[in-house]
Amino acid sequence: MARRKRYSAEFKRQALRRANEPGMTDALVCEELGVSTRQLRRWREAIQEHGDENAFPGHGKARDQELAKLRRELKRVTEERDFLKDAARYFAKESK
C-alpha cells in the first residue's frame, strides 16, 4: 500500500495563491500540481476556518515530543510507586 503524500504548509499556501490568480481555476491548478480538487478545497477550508498562520500546524513532531515526555513521566512515577511499595513492605516487616 502506498503512503500518502504529504505537502508542506508553504506548498499548500502557494497552490491556493495560484488558484486565486485571474484566469486560473481549481481544476487547472490541481492538474499542474498533481493534487485532487477535493484536497485543494480542504486546504482552502482550513485557511478559512483557522486563518492563514494557524491553518496547517503540521503533525508528528509536537505530538511525538509530548508522547515521549509523557512516557518518561510515567516511567518515573511507576518507579516511585514501586519504591514506595518496597519501602512499605520493609517497614511492615520491621514493625512486627
**Model confidence at 79: pLDDT above 70:** yes
State mean pLDDT over 38-55.
Answer: 86
Third-level CATH fold of 7-58:
Arc Repressor Mutant, subunit A (1.10.10)
State mean pLDDT over 23-52.
Answer: 90
pLDDT over 90, % of the chain: 51
State mean pLDDT over 5-9.
Answer: 84
Q: What is the pTM of this model?
A: 0.56
Domain boundaries, the chain: 7-58, 59-96
**Model confidence at 1: pLDDT above 80:** no
Tell me how crowded residue 43 is: count the other CB atoms within 10 A of its CB.
21
Question: What string of DSSP letters covers 22-87?
Answer: TT--HHHHHHHHT--HHHHHHHHHHHHHH-TTTS---SSHHHHHHHHHHHHHHHHHHHHHHHHHHH
Name the range with the highest mean pLDDT among 3-7, 46-50, 61-65: 46-50
Q: How many CA atoms lie within 13 A of 13 on its CB side?
A: 10
